[in-house]
Structures are given as structure tokens and as C-alpha cells.
Amino acid sequence: MNGSLARGPVSKVPWGFTALLTAFVLFYTSGPRFPILVPLAMLLAAAMAGVVVFRWLRTGVRVPLEVLILGVFVVWAVGSGFMLAVDTDSFAVGAKRMVQVVLVAGCVASMAAMSRTPAIGFLAITGLALILVGYGFATGDFAATAEMTQKGDQVVGYRATSLTSNANALGVSCVWALAGLAWLWRKASRLWQQGALITFSVPLFAGAVYSGSRKAVLLAPLFLLAWVWFCYRRVLLRRAAVFLTVAIATVASVVAGSYILQGTLVGHRFTATESEKRLGLIQEGLKMLARHPFAGVGMYQFNAHSRYTAYAHNDYVEVAATTGLLGFVIYYSIFALVTWRLVRLRRRCHHPEVNYSAGICLAVLVTCAAAGLALVMVYSIAFWCFIAGVFGFASIAERDLLKHSKRPRQLPRCIKPVRQAKAVAALQLTRR
């Protein structure tokens, strides 16, 4: 077990595939603003699929069960949506997007399983976020967020989007990027390496703030706390000095963050009363589910049935309202399965690197569960590129664990002669 799962250091990360994935996500995310990049993204996707097939023919690693369940969900969502769709154009766009989701998730999960590391998706999104933040600073997109005007009781301002078409996409990408830095943290054995990772985290926090996304500002500290809890809980509980240092740093960060956010757009958005529309969308989604409990109103059809003409802004409500209770159960069984695998892995495997990677994966899943309360992720290509590596790692790690537990345990050499002597003595007694 330890030998097979130890193949997860930085030197074993498929850096070429990770670079392809980073370029693919970047081109796909920038497609709405630069349509010429979309065909290039499709070419990169084909290249990734070719690499995965080539590696699969050599290793024979099976596709993770989570990806197969995702495929079942997509078949159900597309099939039921085809029968129930009111807005056929939106359904066609959604069907195409979900097919792409399955293919990309399958490639990333399979490569993660063959490499035995979840870092592929983490590092790809880290590279994406750093490029987005760099572009925002270089073009003055972030500087434009400083201009705010007062309209009635509300403060209105510009939200940075960088290369994306949505400010929330920029902010959440900066949060997901922290997982890549957290995975590299354990590899950073020297002080300058740790300093570099901390330096890279600063523009990511800045990107979350400049995007004006409240969910991104809240999810960033949530992920960091979950990461510390799952990966360094024992150290904190055993060493009082470390625990106090982390507690003081947390309090200081909250106070400083509250002070800094007061003069920003996202700080004003926290005090604004925008919850009425969100609650209205949730109520509409529940009414849609009540009217169509089995199959929902159809994939990508929430806007057509909403008086706000908007999506649900809630992953749980969006999935339930558009695919019904059956689709809801299929979809979230994916995350229940991978969570169960990771918890079981941490209980039974004592390899430090495997436990650390599993801890980051659990922190990611906790953050995703919280993000689902205010964000629709089911249709996001970037999200599936990010999370699919967790599926591949959990699948192959559990498989290696089961192989190790079924392996017959050999007796120590000093015990074998004793048992042989007892067997000979027993045979002699029976002959007498």
C-alpha cells in the first residue's frame, strides 16, 4: 500500500497533461470574450483525450465509478430535458455542455488515477487563476473597481471579470486555486519555497476581492480552515504553541480583512439587501420541484420557468428543479461516494502523503458543499476539471488499499519454525 500510493510526489505529476488542461480551461473560459479561442480549446481537449487513451492502453486503469455515475446523470438530464424543454435553444446549449463535462471529467479523473495524485485539476486551476489575475492587473480591469457611485441606498460599482464573462467565475477560480497551493505546501521543504507560495496567494485573494463576489470572499477562509483542520489537526491539538499561533493569525486575518473590505465594492455588497431575489429563486425552484417531482422542468429550463428569468443561484435547487428527485439523487451520490472513499482511506491508510492529499480533497469537498448554496456548478467546465482529479485519486487509492488488505500476511521467519515443530509433534502423537 505505502509503496503503490507513495507515487504522488511532484516529480510524478504529469506536468505536460497539466499544462494542456490549464490551456484548455483558459481558452474555454475566455471563449465568450474571444471566440477564436474556442476551437483551440476543442483541439486541446482532443489532445488530452489522446494522451489519456495512450496511457490507458499501457496501464489499463479503469475509469472511476464517479465518472460513470456522472455519465448516467447526464443521460438522464439530457433525456428528460429533451421531453420537457420549453426553451429548445437553451436545452441544446445545455446538452452540448454536459456532454463536454463528461468527456473532460473522464479525461482528468482517469489521468489522476493513473498518476495517483489529485493535483492535476488543482494545479490547472491555480495556473488559470494566476493568469486571470495577471491579466486583470495588466489591463487595468482591477483598477476600475475603485470607482463606486451612490444610487439611492445602494453603492454601485464595477466588478472585475478579467478574461472571464462573469465576475463570480473569476472570484471562485481564485478560491479553487488555493487548493493547488495547499497541495504544493507539503512539497515546499525550504523557506523560500514556502515564501513563494504565500506570495502567490496574495494576488489570488486580491482577485477574489476585485471580482466583488461575496461567495468567493467567504469561501476562501472556509477552505483554509478546512485545510488546516483535515491536514494539520493532530499537530494543532498536540502543540499548544502552534495552536495559539494559528488562532491569533486567524483572528488577526478576520479583523484585517473586515477593515480592508469596508472600502471595497464587495464590502458594500455584504451590507446590501439583495437576499429577497435569492430567496425568491429558491422558492420558485421548490415550486417547480413540487409540480414535477420525478423529472423536474428540464435541464437548462430554470430561466424559462422563473419570473426573474435567472438561474437558481443554488446548485441544490438548480439540480432538483431541472432534473427532479431522481436526478438529484444520482448527481449527489457522486459526491457522497467520493467522500466515503476519502474518509475510509484516511482511517485505514497511514501513509503521510496519501493522508495529506486526502485531507486536501476533503477540504475541497467541504468548500464545494458550501459553495453550492450560492453557486450553480453543475454546468461549469472549470469546476469539473478541478474536482475530477479528486475522483481519480480517491478511486485508485481505495483500490490500492483493498489490494493491500486482501494480500496474505506472511509470518515472520522466527515464528515459522515454531509452528512447524508443533505440527510435527502433533503428527507423531496421532501416529502413536
Residue 58: partners with Cβ closer than 8 Å, 6 or more residues away:
none
270 or 335, which is more confident: 335
Q: Could you tell me which residues come within 8 angstroms of residue 4 by beta carbon, excluding any fewer than 6 positions away?
A: 116, 400, 403, 404
| CA–CA separation, 363 and 370 (whole Å) | 11
**What average pLDDT does the structure give for the chain?**
85
User: In angstroms, what CA-CA distances link 71 with 91, 111, 327, 335, 399?
Assistant: 17, 17, 12, 14, 21
Write the pLDDT tens digit of every residue in 188-207. 889 999 999 999 999 999 99
| 367 neighbors 359 (Cβ within 8 angstroms) | no
What is the predicted pLDDT for the residue at 416? 45
Among the residue ranges 70-79, 124-133, 201-210, 301-310, the one predicted with the least confidence is 301-310
The pTM assigned to this predicted structure is 0.87
pLDDT at 196 (0 to 100): 94
- Model confidence at 11, pLDDT cuts 50, 70, 90, reads very low
Q: How buried is 377 (Cβ within 10 angstroms: 0-12 exposed, 13-18 middle, 19+ buried)? A: middle
Please determine, for residue 7, whether its predicted confidence score (pLDDT) is greater than 50: no
Average pLDDT over residues 221-246: 81
* Closest among 189, 169, 232, 205 to 376, alpha carbons compared: 169
Cα–Cα distances in angstroms (integers) from residue 9 to residues 294, 362, 365, 385, 398, in the given order: 46, 19, 22, 20, 18
Lowest mean pLDDT among 20-29, 235-244, 341-350, 417-426: 417-426
Mean pLDDT calculated for residue range 291-299: 92
pLDDT digits (tens, 9 = 90+) for 25-75: 999 999 988 999 999 999 999 999 999 999 888 888 888 999 999 999 999
**What number is the average pLDDT over the span 156-177?**
89
